[in-house]
Structure 1
Amino acid sequence: MSQGLDVPDRWFVALRGRSSSDHALDPITLIVTERQDTAGLQLEEARIIALCDRPLSVAEIARYLHVPLGVAKVLLSRLLDEGRVHARPPAASASTDTGMLERVLCGLRNL
């Protein structure tokens, strides 16, 4: 409940009571639209379809929608289940390449 009133929380209603994603979505997982059809979708889900005509990370989607990361993951879970979007997991080599990470750190220090 929000603010002590007998009004359900907005996200509880929007997410149909779901509190977690059925998919393992990393914040840097890229999402891209598979089908432009938005019939039967909630406003936030339709916005995801429009936003992801080019690949966006889960974190970027949450930012554009102004929602917590967990909410974005639950919204994306339904769209993934229905085949409306496709998830591209982050490349394993990019996250474990210590040389690249050291170069990025060095570049940040030089700023």
Structure 2
Amino acid sequence: MTNTFGPRHAPASAAYFNSVRPHYYVGHNARAIKAEGVRVRLLAGDGDRLYDKDGKKITEIFSKLLTRYGIRDTYTVLPGVDHTITEAIAARTLAYPSNFREQALAQFK
């Protein structure tokens, strides 16, 4: 975290972190996100700390936030996968869900 955002208590670090934090970004850009027709795909492995952190479903909570702002999203929990979904796809233990990409890009054909 220090390498990315700098020392924890530095004002610039907090400002930068908050400016790129997904909850903040969505709250301040929801109108533009909807106007552009952006589609959001959320994937969480059931072994990922963002799926269930001490009983708190972080990714699911974010999906519900998007819904409150009227932003379309697809939320999928992948069984047997941890935080490294790309490694599971590369190891061919998980198929890449390509239909989302096709649907998201269909408007540009």
Task: Tell me if TM exceeds 0.5.
Answer: no
Rg larger for = 1
TM tier, shorter chain?
under 0.3
- TM-score, scaled to structure 2: 0.25
TM-score by length of 1: 0.25
Which has the higher relative contact order, 1 or 2, with Cα contacts under 8 A spaced 6 or more apart? 1
